[in-house]
Amino acid sequence: MKRIMVSLLVLLMLGTGMLFAGGAAEAPEAAAADDSFKALYLVNGNLGDKGFYDSAASGFYTLRDEDGATIKIVEMGRNEASYEGYYLDASEQDWDVIVSGTWSVKELAEDVARQFPEKDYIFFDGTTDVENLMGVAYRSNETAFMAGALAALMLDSGDAKIDGSERTLGFIGSMDVVNINDFLIGYIDGIKYIDPSIRVLTSYVGSFEDVPKCMEMTTQLYNQGAQIVYAPASQSILGAVTASSNKDKYLIACDTDIWSAMVETDANLVRNVLSSSLKKVGESLVVAMRGLQDGSMKTTENYTLGLKSGSVGLADNDNYRKLVPGTIRTQLDELAVKVGDGAIPVREAFGMTTEQVAEIRDSMKP
């Protein structure tokens, strides 16, 4: 348990940008050009998280290197009381767009945008009703579809850790709520597209951050026959990772590329993480900022981006390429295109009643 809590601290630090925390800092910026697009990113934490913060920054670097944009990245640190000052200072400067996210600064971003109606803002990982603040959300159901397809295809991979005759997979969610069930519905659709005979065991931790309970419940899924478990378990997810390590069974993580984030600190713990279903923030911001420049996207609108724009998808890291056969990776790439183009429809939990979600979930029970 001591190792679990140490690893949890590392994971939470990665997820909240606490690594290298201290005073706010500014990342290097490109030399200004009079006619260049000027974009500022306000980080509600510090770079180095190998998660949302770094991903968002990568989009800015792409815009700078490929489009010649003038960028600035301001790391606001962990003192939330200081954030308003950063937003106000940025809003009084000459930026074409000011970008920030996620939920913890949404209210502040909205308040400041209302104070500066002549300025343009982008908020990622959410939607908003403020006229000059573009909301960028993500098609969780599509990235979950890819997780389901990966899990289903791996059942027939011949991998020694998988009993291919046991046609059962698992799902461990943090809470039985619509945003988590959106992952469940997409996961089920991905599985059924590959093989409708596969069954799915589903559990919910009942908390966003109960690591021991998540470990216990994920272990139960493996004991009940789940060959691979998908874990949209929020901050509880380290429990699922630990269970996969203890049981020597495969896991598909969610939101954070956990293998890349933790391989240097605890490679054994994450050795069985096949991949992670990701919101690719950097790619989505490139789409949004280029759209803002060419007029195809507006700050008066919200946008939900998915596989078609490369804004969601599976983590393609060294462990994924090591554990997942090339033939399966190729199949997944082809499926991503078809889902993105709408050739393969994927249902979403948003708009479904709780009874409808329960009916779909129950229909997959062994």
The CATH number linked to 348 is: 3.40.50.2300
Structural domain contains residue 297: no
* Any domain includes 287: no
Task: Give the whole-number percent of the chain exceeding pLDDT 70.
Answer: 91
Residue 174 lies in a domain: yes
Does residue 129 sit in the same domain as residue 149? no
Regarding whether 180 and 91 lie in a shared domain, the answer is no
Residue 7 lies in a domain: yes
92 and 153 belong to one structural domain: no
- Same domain (yes/no): 126, 153: no
Please count the structural domains in the chain.
2
Residue 34's pLDDT is what? 59
Within-domain flag for 286: no
Residue 76 structural domain = 2-138
- Do 193 and 339 lie in one domain? The reply is yes
Among 138, 159, 174, identify where a domain stops: 138
pLDDT at 6: 44
3-state SS string for the chain:
CHHHHHHHHHHHHHHHCCCCCCCCEEECCCCCCCCCCEEEEEECCCCCCCCHHHHHHHHHHHHHHHHCCEEEEEECCCCHHHHHHHHHHHHCCCCCEEEECCHHHHHHHHHHHHHCCCCCEEEECCCCCCCCEEEEEECHHHHHHHHHHHHHHHCCCCCCCCCCCCCEEEEEECCCCHHHHHHHHHHHHHHHHHCCCCEEEEEECCCCCCHHHHHHHHHHHHHCCCCEEECCCHHHHHHHHHHHHHHCCEEEEEECCHHHHHHHHHCCCCCCEEEEEEECHHHHHHHHHHHHHHCCCCCCCEEEECHHHCCEEECCCHHHHHHCCHHHHHHHHHHHHHHHHCCCCCCCCCCCCHHHHHHHHHHCCC
115 and 66, same structural domain?
A: yes
pLDDT in 10s for each residue of the chain, 366 residues: 545 544 544 454 444 333 333 344 555 554 444 589 999 999 999 998 878 899 999 999 999 999 999 999 999 999 999 999 999 999 999 999 999 999 999 999 999 999 999 999 999 999 999 999 999 999 999 999 999 999 999 999 999 999 999 999 999 999 999 999 999 999 999 999 999 999 999 999 999 999 999 999 999 999 999 999 999 999 899 999 999 999 999 999 999 899 999 999 999 999 999 999 999 999 999 999 999 999 999 999 999 999 999 999 999 999 999 999 999 999 999 999 999 999 999 999 999 999 999 999 999 999
Are 112 and 185 in a shared domain? Answer: no
Predicted local confidence at residue 30, as pLDDT:
44
Residue after which a domain boundary falls, among 92, 112, 138: 138
Query: Does residue 301 form part of some domain?
Result: no
Model pLDDT, residue 49: 81
Task: Judge if 112 and 166 occupy the same domain.
Answer: no
> Could you tell me which residues come within 8 angstroms of residue 319 by beta carbon, excluding any fewer than 6 positions away?
259, 263, 270, 271, 273, 274, 275
Task: Note the pLDDT of residue 297.
Answer: 98
Which of 112, 138, 164 is a domain's end point?
Answer: 138
Whole-model pTM?
0.88
Residue 58 counted as domain residue: yes
- Looking at the structure, tell me whether residues 190 and 133 fall in a common domain: no
Residue 44 included in any domain: yes
Looking at the fold, whether 251 and 337 belong to one and the same domain comes out as yes
57, 108, 128 from 51: Cα distances, Å? 10, 22, 23
Q: Are residues 167 and 89 in the same domain?
A: no
Q: How many residues are there in the chain?
A: 366
Domain identity same for 98 and 149: no
Strands 121-124 and 97-100: parallel
